Chains A and B, each alone.
Chain A
């Protein structure tokens, strides 16, 4: 028996060590190196000096960085709300007794499997040529020029493209949530007069809160890290109005000579993501306990 125990222990250790080493090499070490660069004035090449907290101090007074945080957070909040409302409605529709249910579910999921970059390019054309042409035809003045070229409206274009793909994902998760609600809950609720909106608010929604939490976490995290859609639609423009945090770090850090400064930005971004994720998990687990 002890011979077996030893063999088992040794095998587990021999499995863990190389895989853990791989993880440390390409996740932990670059993370630490990134944090170290944030205290230097590195431009990505050549020599660099330690500058202490200079980058962090500059970060909080940098208008461009501030703007990118405002844009990213605004985009994440608005898109999360839009996506969750629409997916919930769509999921209720797709979960009702309809014909060709499988076909509809499959079709509505389609946007999610397509690459965000190419989807972004297709919508770029749609916003630049189709929407203005349609607006001219129907006489809608406000849309006769591309929304992507307006600093005030470009974020809406990004929002629509993000939502178009995310709705597919969230809907499928809500459907699997709705399928966990047993039929007799509705029957019992129906006897108490709970139908329509009342039924949804008091019966259905509380039962699918775990799925709502999953969707919130998925949405917020994905939208805060938005990158592909930006590069395909606006490249951060016009007038840097749609520069997401990831895009700014990539653009100025990789080729803009701000390696050290953007490393500090990335460290702050990392902390923001961790704080939001932990807060969301605490919040949703406390919600679930209440039930």
Chain B
């Protein structure tokens, strides 16, 4: 990049700055961990009282937080909703992306494509009030309704990704299968669906992250069902933490742990997926 003689020096400066910058990310997390492990009696009003390491690393706050926020049930709901949404999105959106992508020259399919993709501009704010009514009328004011809505909300984005990816897959592959007498339906599942694997990974990552962290949809749809997702539980039980910040932070930390573990394991796939989703 620069003259060779300055490379070593300038990179060291960059490295130091990057390490310093990292404190803006580590500090809030450090604060969360130490407060989550402490007892209210250890929290004096001074900085050192709040930020010092706990005297005993006790799991008591976490046990209590799990009870207060119905943690395991919320975790189960979050996993169920995220998992099913991702699975359905990959199946339904890839199929629709394929159908629309292979028929771009047809006026009807091209219109359907534009019609669905333009759904990206629709803010949730305009849908939420009618949807709250509609899902209640249809008996879908529950986790299943939330999944259906996610499949619809992420359809524009995912269909765009899939039909864009399809342009890289030669038609010859399908034609060869057709000569062998395979139906379009079978050809899709046997040949095209497996080839789109890289795009499935991208769609899975961006859909999973968005669904896992979403608050608004379950807040509006599941309000009456007394069921929670992990983020929704934080919101609904906020008042029960009162001024016991240690309990609150234990609960926050608990709700962050699943996604942190997921990130540690699949960091590379997540980064790739997020970039592909945004850039394509």
B residues 23-60 in Cβ contact with A at 8 Å: 24-25, 28, 31-32, 35, 45-47, 50-51
Interface string of B92-106 (1 = CB under 8 A from A): 100110011011000
CA distance A105 to B25 in the complex (A): 12
CA distance A118 to B46 in the complex (A): 24
Q: Is A269 a contact partner of B45 (Cβ separation < 8 A)? A: no
Interface of A is mostly: helix
User: Which of B10, B123, B213 is in CB contact (< 8 Å) with A266?
Assistant: B123
Q: Is A11 a contact partner of B127 (Cβ separation < 8 A)? A: no
CA distance A20 to B113 in the complex (A): 10
Instruction: Tell whether A270 is near chain B: CB-to-CB under 8 Å.
Output: yes
Q: Is B128 a contact partner of A249 (Cβ separation < 8 A)? A: yes
Q: Is A114 a contact partner of B92 (Cβ separation < 8 A)? A: no
A residues 64-118 in Cβ contact with B at 8 Å: 90, 93-94, 96-99, 104-118
Q: Is B96 a contact partner of A29 (Cβ separation < 8 A)? A: no
Query: What is the interface of chain B, defined by CB distance below 8 A to chain A?
Result: 1-2, 7, 10-11, 14-15, 17-18, 21-22, 24-25, 28, 31-32, 35, 45-47, 50-51, 92, 95-96, 99-100, 102-103, 109, 112, 116, 119, 121-134, 148-149, 151-153, 155, 178, 183-185, 209, 212-213, 215-216, 220, 230-231, 234-235, 238, 245, 248-249, 252, 255-256, 259-260, 262-263, 267, 270-271, 274-275, 278-279
What residues of B have a CB within 8 angstroms of the CB of A19 in the complex? Answer: 92, 95-96, 155
Q: Is A110 a contact partner of B263 (Cβ separation < 8 A)? A: yes
CA distance A118 to B215 in the complex (A): 10
CA distance A125 to B243 in the complex (A): 11
Interface of B is mostly: helix
CA distance A269 to B123 in the complex (A): 8
User: Which of B17, B47, B149, B213 is in CB contact (< 8 Å) with A115?
Assistant: B213
Given contacts A16-B112, A99-B15, A254-B132, contact A195 B2 (CB under 8 A): yes
User: Please, could you name 5 A-B residue pairs with CB atoms under 8 Å apart, sorted by A?
Assistant: A12-B103, A12-B184, A231-B215, A269-B125, A273-B121
What residues of A have a CB within 8 angstroms of the CB of B18 in the complex? Answer: 93-94, 98, 104
Q: Which of B248, B262, B271 has the most CB atoms of chain A within a 10 A radius of its CB?
A: B271
Minimum CB–CB distance from A192 to chain B (whole Å) comes to 14
User: Which of B103, B125, B252 is in CB contact (< 8 Å) with A246?
Assistant: B125
Q: Is B234 a contact partner of A117 (Cβ separation < 8 A)? A: yes
